[in-house]
Structure 1
């Protein structure tokens, strides 16, 4: 089958787009508003986009609290979602009013960033402290605003729980990071496999 996305005429019970682009890592974004309130929300439009400098992004469909706080303060954190925390992550996706703490709603311990004034999940096996470098609104080919925004942040510091390290590497069997698969589906990355890149014979 083929369908044009402008009409979204796929004829299926649900749009397959998010399921096709999967699995997508979940950025558990922690922010603090300029008034001092804290927010924690999961974003499946999240990824690392550069190693030099270390940079990540998350995308907000609409002007959500994480976007507002990142705009106001220029800082955010991204905590790793492990399988043991998946249900609590889901709780933090609730559409709570601005100023309500999802840390409290999900009964999560909150840790403070060392380099940024934003909280992260204390129980997370890994967390990134980020400072905003760019915020942009995605536009269509026609140049029309979409109401979706990309927040890009440079990673200033990284927290690692040494309990998840084996031989100096983050052990995915322990960390078991959760990713979004589309629809209501998730997966966990606790059973990785390895492949080495080929080398060109004439290199």
Structure 2
């Protein structure tokens, strides 16, 4: 038996909680920006993914008009910092609704690192930083999707194996429902089956 939910009949928060509990796990974009006045901002956003490969574009969604969105609209630049398990408490702390003009870097005590191509700083302890220039935004109801063209990627050599980031060394965090977070857990590996081999399987059967 299924329980039916009609978004037209549910209040906003009820359906929001349903979606964030079922669209899981969600990677976290730990977005650093700099305001037009020069204040560095840092906040996690869990509506985050890759949008395009060529050119490389990533996207995250600002639910409401948060400082990250305002700063990106004003300056055209941001950094997506990877959210690793060892920084769990700091990442959560930067989700606090600090008043505009207060830097999460300074208040939470997070060390900065200069970016190479954009003004906003990186998180020094994060193993991966994607430096982005604003590509475009799309307004959808109470939210804004931000698309950023990746103009530089900086990866800690300690998480690399044979020239490729190793997921166990990255130790990614993810967001789940309610106040729940996910860690890497078991990693399973399987290759895709080419169609030519799939046909062969069918003929063998």
Give the TM-score, by structure 2 length: 0.89
Going by fraction, where is strand more abundant, 1 or 2?
1
**Partner Cα distance (2:43, 2:32) in 1:** 7
Picking from 151, 162, 176, the partner of 1:156 is 151
> Are the counterparts in 2 of residues 176 and 190 from structure 1 also a CA contact under 8 Å?
no
Rg bigger for which structure? 2
Q: Give how far 1:87 is off.
A: 0.8
Picking from 84, 101, 104, the partner of 1:102 is 104
**Partner Cα distance (1:152, 1:36) in 2:** 22
Q: Give how far 1:171 is off.
A: 1.2
The root-mean-square deviation of aligned C-alpha atoms, in Å, is: 1.8
Map of 1:117 onto structure 2: 119
Q: Give how far 1:190 is off.
A: 5.3
> Are the counterparts in 2 of residues 172 and 190 from structure 1 also a CA contact under 8 Å?
no
Is 1:47 the counterpart of 2:49? The answer is yes
Give the TM-score, by structure 1 length: 0.90
Picking from 18, 31, 34, the partner of 1:32 is 34
Residue-pair matches, total: 194
Q: Which runs of 5+ in 1 are unaligned?
A: 139-145
Is 1:81 the counterpart of 2:87? The answer is no
CA shift digits 1:61-119 (9 cap, x unpaired)? 11110000000000000000100001100010111111111011221111121111111
CA shift digits 1:27-50 (9 cap, x unpaired)? 000000111111000000111111
CA shift digits 1:158-186 (9 cap, x unpaired)? 01000111222211111111011111111
> Are the counterparts in 1 of residues 17 and 177 from structure 2 also a CA contact under 8 Å?
no
Identify which range, 106-115 or 71-80, moves more after superposition. Answer: 106-115
Map of 2:181 onto structure 1: 186
Map of 1:21 onto structure 2: 23
CA shift digits 1:125-170 (9 cap, x unpaired)? 10100000101211xxxxxxx2211110000000100011122221
Any runs of at least 4 consecutive aligned residues in structure 1 with deviations exceeding 6 A, and if so which? Answer: none
Map of 2:192 onto structure 1: 197
> Are the counterparts in 1 of residues 174 and 183 from structure 2 also a CA contact under 8 Å?
yes
**Partner Cα distance (2:175, 2:158) in 1:** 25
